[in-house]
Each structure stands twice: as structure tokens, then as C-alpha cells.
Structure 1
Amino acid sequence: MNHKRSRALYDRALSVIPGGVNSSVRAIRPYPFFIERGDGAHVIDADGNRYLDYVMGYGPLLFGHDLPEPVRAAVQSAASDGPMYGAPTEVEVDLAEFVTRHVPSVEMIRFVNSGTEATVSAVRLARGYTGRNKIVVMEGGYHGAQESTLVEGSHDAQRPSSSGIPQAFARHTLPVPFNDEEALRAVLAEHRDDIAAVLVEPILGNTGIVAPVDDYHQTVRELCDEIGALLIFDEVITGFRVGGLQCAQGKFGIMPDLTTFGKIIGGGFPVGAVGGRTEIVEEFTPAGEVFQSGTFSGHPVTMAAGLATLQFAAENDVYDHVNALGDQIRSGMRDILADRAPEYTVVGTDSMFKTIFTRADSEIQSDDCETGCQQDRSCTRFSDCPKNGSDVQCAETDRWERLFWPAMKEQGIFLTANQFESQFVSYAHTETDIEETLEAYKMFFE
């Protein structure tokens, strides 16, 4: 493939944008290809190269790059009426009503502008509501670029994971391994009177795709109730993708106190939201004392896009389609790896998928895990499949990034740039697209 124009654009970008990109994950080595436009399940770069896209904007593009006509019409109508107003609009009420009707735990919702802003606001709300300071997070979980969660290490030796964050901030954040009930119990017991919330993704989505073991989330729910802490589900990735309109909390049968949203809830436009029990969410100003505000919050174009997206998904076969394709690609990947790389692990659920280059010695995934690791204790690979972020970090991440990703790109398959972020199928993908992708996998693993 020719990448002459992308290379030139990157050269220009390095002079005016730090690192040449506006989000660190886009810093693909040796340089990123620049996208010119989308076309259904494909993207076309600045040099005219065409790729099957499984990045899907890192999750927001449930329909792919061609919006269904009702969604396109709603966006165009809202944009033509005026860019924004600094005042409420009916469509934000309509979207709030839709979400509260369909997501089991959400009685009231506040719209913001990004997933990061949603989690920042949720943490502040939990602290304000409980009068406590500390939050528990999962090692390897990702909750946006915010000071409270850019923390690494263990609960008793935590430190900021980025420069520019005072060490004093990190002492209020307690990391524990995902799926480690014993570690969670110990931390909650030690700090029970000062823990405002446990913040957890239903499925780790930025450090591989790691599913919960057994009734892990139910245990977290019960432990939070015992000490009077809030349970916050970060559904920025899984919201309206896993579990359909009820989100991952509906799939797992868990009722969190607060939920953060982003990505799909805005139909591909910048968005975030915090939803939950009325008595908690009403603590936001102006109803309560926890300050939260934003010039672009409830932006009319975003609200129109989000509402039309969710309505179209509710009225059509969107989830049946994308979930079936997810099963197809994960099952196909598992069959390929069974012969060529049985030590690797296929992960994901619904329309999320990934291959983690794990270093296992056991047999291939069992039939119960044919369409992605289900943390099935009867599977012969149970002890080898990733249970937390550390397990994914120990995978062959350089092989994935330096060998696998470039090889797939050269075959016209656009995957997320490293071992960690999830990949997605969309409503625009077809069974033929999946077969083409699996053929590319076969060629790499030959």
C-alpha cells in the first residue's frame, strides 16, 4: 500500500500537534494513516487505501460510517436549526426519557460531553453523596483521563500513572485486581468508613476484554451495600452495545447505584452521561450541592443523534445482527487458533472481540467458550485465560503491535493499534466481511 500522503500529513502534524496526534492511542508506529472518509464498514485513507474497519471510532459507531436515514435526518435537522443555544431543548428530555425507560438502574440522568467527564462527575457525586473520600478501582480498568483514576500500583502502594498528578491525589484511589474477590474484601474491610464508591467496568474494555468470573459483580454489589458505598458501573464502552438497550448491567442482572455512559449514547458525536437513582443524581447542582456544569452539555445535535440511534436500534434487528457477527468472528478466530496458535485466547461478547496473545500451555478453548472466553471453570484453559489487567499486560503485546497489526493493515483490515483496546463489529458489517477478515487471520498465522 502507498502511504505517501499520510506520511506527509504526519510530518506536518508533528510541527503543530504534540506527537502528531490528538489522542495518544492514535500514535501508530512508524506513523498513522490519516482517514479521509468512511463508507459503511470501511474507511478510506488519504492515499485512497480501503480498509475493513473494526475500530469503529473506538466504539461509538454502532451503525458503521453510513448512518441510517432516520438518524442522518435527525442530525441534519438539528444542525440546520442552529449549532447550540445555551438553553434546554426538548430533545435532551426525550433522550433522557428513553434511557430511563430502558436501563434498569437509571431513574435520572445528567448529560455531559465525554466519557472522561462522566466518570469525573460520577466520582465527585459519589464523594458528595456519601461524605467519603476514597474510591476503589480495578487494576487495568480505564475511566478516562482524570486524576482520580490515573492511578497504578496496589491499594497500599498506589501512585499516579501520569506525570502532572500530585501523589496526594493518588492516596484516595485504591486499585485492586479485577475478579479478585479476596483482595476486594480486604480493601473494603480496611477502609470501610471512607470508601465512597467502587468504580468498575462490567467488562474490562481497555485492557483486553476481560469478562467477570462467576458472580463477581453480584459480590461487589453486596459488599458495597454492607459498607454503605456506591457501586458505579462504567458503561462508556459497553453501554448500548453489550446487553442491547439494557446495557451490560441488564445482561449481568446487576443494579449499580450510578452508571457512566458515552460513545453510542451520542450516536457518534461527543457525549457522556451519568445516570442512577434519583436521590443520588439529584445531588448535582442546581438541585443539590455537587457542582456539575458544561457549556456544551446536552448539545442539541448530539442529543438528536443519540436519540435517533437508540430508537433505530430498538425498532430494527441491530443487536441481533451485530451480535451474530460477533459470534461468527470469535468462533472463526477460535477455530483458526486451535490449529495454529492454541496458546492465544479469543475474548469478547456481543459485538466486541479481540485475540489476546496469551502465553498459555493448555488446550484450546472449550465449546462453552467457542465464541469468546466466558470464564467457564470447566474449560481446560480456565487458569490460563486472562482474569485481570495484569494477565493481559503479560501477553505478547509487542508481537501483536509490531507484527500482527501491520500485517493485518497490509491486508486491508483496520484493527485497534495495540493489544489492549476492544474491537467492534457494526450494523454495516456483513458475513462476507467477517469471512474476508478471517482469511486475513489465517494468512498471518500460517
Structure 2
Amino acid sequence: MNHEASRSLYDRALSVMPGGVNSSVRAAPQPYPIFVDRGDGGHVIDADGNRYVDWIQGLGPLLLGHDMPEGLQAAVQSRAAEGPMYGMPTEIEVEHAEFVCRHVPSVEMIRFVNSGTEATVSACRLARAITGRNKILIMQGGYHGAQETTLVSGDADDPKPSSAGVPQAFADHTVPVPFNDPAAAEAAFETHGDDIAAVLVEPIQANMGIVYPEDGYHDELRSLCDEYGSLLIFDEVITGFRVGGLQCAQGKFDIDPDLTTFGKIIGGGFPVGAIGGKTEYVEQFSPAGDVFQAGTFSGHPVTMAAGLETLRFCAENDVYDHVNGLGRRLREGLSDIVADHAPEYTVVGSDSLFKLVFTRADGAPQDECCANGCRQDHACSRYDACPKRGTDVRRAETDRYARLFRPAMREQGILVSQNQFEANFVAYGHTESDVEETLEAYKEAL
């Protein structure tokens, strides 16, 4: 493939944008990223005219793919034509809020914001105000946006900033523990419980290789929060309206969080975030309560229209059957491929998420109980070797993925996630043919 236009654009971008990009993950493909010109269903076409099957899908927001259904396109165009925004309430905000509250089990009230990061920042502030406490318990290897509270590494006894510019004083109010380790969470509560405002957790660690929870793990977190008077916050920015359908991952796992953060799909491809939860908590946001939260572009009418019409389309069509079916076909197909070509690697994912983690496991490939993606099943002979938390993925062959595997896939016309940690996403615009083409490319690249 010819990539001269992308190379030239990157050369120009390096002069005017740090690293040549506006979000760091986009620079991950070396020596330079692909610059996209347009989307088409489950595909993208780059600046050089090369066409790819696209499993990145905007890093998750595009559940329907790059083509808007007629009703969604009409709603977006209509809202944009009526005026870009007003700084005043609109009916579409109310309709979107009603839809989310009607379908997500724990959400009685919602506040729309502009990004997943803004949602988690606001949720942490709200939890601290509600409880009068300072500390937030997070999972090592989890990701909750570019915010000071969660850009923290280390452990519960020695938290440290994971980014320059984050004061140690912020890290001191964060309690990192391993995902899928209820004993570690219990120990952290025994030490810090009187000052833990909330547990902030992804239902599935979907930003670090896709790590599934052990059976009962979230129930343990729910019990600890109840025992110590802390809030349970589910970060469903990635899983929301993708895992578990319209009920989200909390419905799939039958967990009742106090607060939920959203992003990505609820904006239909436009910038969005939201904090939902119990009325007694969410109504403490200003102006109803004393917790300040505001944003000029919050509830933007174009975003609200795009998000609402996307969810309506999902409710009225076979979207989840389609994307989950293709996701299962990809995971099962990958399980067969790695059994022959790379048995040390681990297939992960759920619903319309999938990933191949370049683990360094010994012994036999995944058993049948995990053929549809690792499920942390103790019956699987690979149980001890599969990733238990996002931090485990750092020990995988990340360089091989970035320097050899992903470029090989790209040259076969397949775009997978920019690094070993991000998820791949199935969209309604993908087809069985896309799946078969992708599986053949995996065989060749591995």
C-alpha cells in the first residue's frame, strides 16, 4: 500500500500539534499513523485512498458504524440546521435523559456532559461531597480519563502519580488495588474505609486488553461499599450500551451501582459524557444541590439527537444480535487460529468487544469454556496464565504487536487497535465477509 499522503500529513502535523496528534493513542502506530479521509459502513478510506476493514470504530462510539441510518442522519442534519447551540435547555435533552433512565436499571436521573473524562471527574466530586470523604478506590490498570484522581499508579500503601503534572497530594487520595482481587479490596477498606468516598471500577477492564471480572467480584465490591458507607461507581464509558445491550454491563452482571458514568455510544459519534444514578445523589449537582457542575456545551442538541436516535435504532432493530454474533464469531475464530499458530496468546472480549492479547502463557491453548473469550473460568487449564487485571497485559508481547503484527494487518487492509491495550469494536456496519477477511489476515500475520 502507498502511504505517502499520510506521511506528508504527519510531517505537517508535527510542526503544529504535540506529537502530531490531538490524543496520544493516535500516534501509536509507528513510524506514523494512518490519516483517515472518510468512513463507509464498517470500513475507512485513508488519505491515500486505501480501504480498510475498521475495528477501531472511533475507539468505541460508533456502534452503528460509519454510515448513519436515515433517521439518525435526518435528526443530526435537522438539529444542525436549526442552529448550532443555544446555552439554554432543549426538548431533545429531556427525551434522551428519559430514554436512558427508562432502560438502565440503576439510573433514575442523569446529567449530560461532554466527555468520559468530564463524567468521571464529576462523579468523583459528587461522591466526595455526598460522603464527606476524600479517597477514591480504583483498579490498577483501569482507565477513567485524563483526570488527576485516577492518573495514579502504585498500590494502596504507596500511590504515585502516573503522569507528570499530577501532584502527589492528589495521588494520596487515591487507593489503587488489583482488579479481580476481592481480598486486596477488603484489605484496602480495612485500612482506609473511613475515608473512601467511592469505588470507581469498569465492569470489564476494557482499556487494558479487555479483562473479564471473576464471578462474584462486583458483588464483593457492592458489599464492601454498603458495609463502609461508600458509593459504587460503574465506569460504563466503554461498556455502556455495548455490553449488555440497552441495560448496559450493570444489567448483564446484575449489579446496582450508585452512580454510572457514560460516554461514547450515548453521543452517537459526537462528543459526550454523562453521570447517571440514584436521584438522591445526582440531584445534589447544582443548581438543585451544592456540588458545582456546569458546561457550555453540555446537552448539545446535535449530540443529544445523535445519541438518542442511535439508541432508538438499537431498540427497534437487530443491532445487538448482529454485533454480538459477529463478536462471538471473531473470538471463536481467533481461538481456533491461535490454537494452531500461537497457543500462548489469549483471546478476550464479550458481546461486541474482542482482542487478542499476546500473552506468554505456557502449555495448552484456552479450553472450550473460554473459546468465546477468556471468562476467568477456574475450569480452564489456562486460568493461572490468563490476564487477571489490566496490568498483566503490560507483560505481554506489546512490542511485537505494535512493530510487527499491527503493520502486517494494516498492509492486508485490516485496522485493529493502535496498541495491545485498546479494545477492538464490532459495529452494525460490519459483515460476515469482514469477519472472514479479518480472520484470514490474523492467520497470515501470526
Normalised by the length of structure 2, the TM-score is: 0.99
The alignment partner of 1:158 has SS state of strand
Shift of 1:362: 2.5
Shift of 1:192: 1.1
Q: Distance between the aligned counterparts of 2:43 and 2:403, measured in 1?
A: 23
Check if 1:18 corresponds to 2:13.
Answer: no
Shift of 1:33: 1.2
1:185-205 Cα deviation digits (max 9, x unpaired): 000111111000000000001
The alignment partner of 1:9 has SS state of helix
Q: Which residue of 2 aligns with 1:3?
A: 3
Q: How many residue pairs were aligned?
A: 445
Q: Which residue of 2 aligns with 1:285?
A: 286
Q: Distance between the aligned counterparts of 1:345 and 1:71, measured in 2?
A: 37
Q: Which residue of 1 aligns with 2:421?
A: 420
Q: Which residue of 1 aligns with 2:233?
A: 232
The alignment partner of 1:191 has SS state of helix
One-letter identity of the residue aligned with 1:107: E
Q: Distance between the aligned counterparts of 1:237 and 1:11, measured in 2?
A: 32
Q: Which residue of 2 aligns with 1:276?
A: 277
Q: Which residue of 2 aligns with 1:187?
A: 188
Matches within 5 A, 1:298-317: 298-317=299-318
Q: Distance between the aligned counterparts of 1:396 and 1:213, measured in 2?
A: 24
Q: Which residue of 1 aligns with 2:213?
A: 212
Shift of 1:426: 0.4
Q: Distance between the aligned counterparts of 1:434 and 1:389, measured in 2?
A: 26
Q: Which residue of 1 aligns with 2:177?
A: 176
The alignment-based identity, stated in percent, is 71
Matches within 5 A, 1:101-140: 101-140=102-141
Moved over 3 A (4+): none
Matches within 5 A, 1:46-445: 46-445=47-446
Asked if the contact 1:139/1:152 (under 8 Å) is kept, the reply is yes
What are the ranges of 5 or more consecutive residues in structure 1 without an aligned counterpart? none
Q: Distance between the aligned counterparts of 2:189 and 2:390, measured in 1?
A: 20
One-letter identity of the residue aligned with 1:370: A
Asked if the contact 2:137/2:199 (under 8 Å) is kept, the reply is yes
The alignment partner of 2:437 has SS state of helix
Q: Distance between the aligned counterparts of 1:405 and 1:399, measured in 2?
A: 9
Asked if the contact 1:362/1:384 (under 8 Å) is kept, the reply is no
Shift of 1:389: 1.8
One-letter identity of the residue aligned with 1:395: A
Shift of 1:334: 0.4
What are the ranges of 5 or more consecutive residues in structure 2 without an aligned counterpart? none
1:398-425 Cα deviation digits (max 9, x unpaired): 1111110000000000111110000001
The alignment partner of 1:391 has SS state of helix
Shift of 1:390: 2.1
Asked if the contact 2:210/2:390 (under 8 Å) is kept, the reply is no
The alignment partner of 2:257 has SS state of coil
The alignment partner of 2:39 has SS state of strand
Q: Distance between the aligned counterparts of 2:395 and 2:4, measured in 1?
A: 35
Q: Distance between the aligned counterparts of 1:42 and 1:444, measured in 2?
A: 20
1:54-75 Cα deviation digits (max 9, x unpaired): 0000000001100111111111
Asked if the contact 2:45/2:52 (under 8 Å) is kept, the reply is yes
Asked if the contact 1:408/1:441 (under 8 Å) is kept, the reply is yes
Check if 1:45 corresponds to 2:46.
Answer: yes
One-letter identity of the residue aligned with 2:303: T
Q: Distance between the aligned counterparts of 1:215 and 1:55, measured in 2?
A: 31
Shift of 1:243: 0.2
Asked if the contact 2:6/2:35 (under 8 Å) is kept, the reply is yes
Q: CA RMSD in A?
A: 0.6
Asked if the contact 2:141/2:208 (under 8 Å) is kept, the reply is yes
Shift of 1:368: 1.5
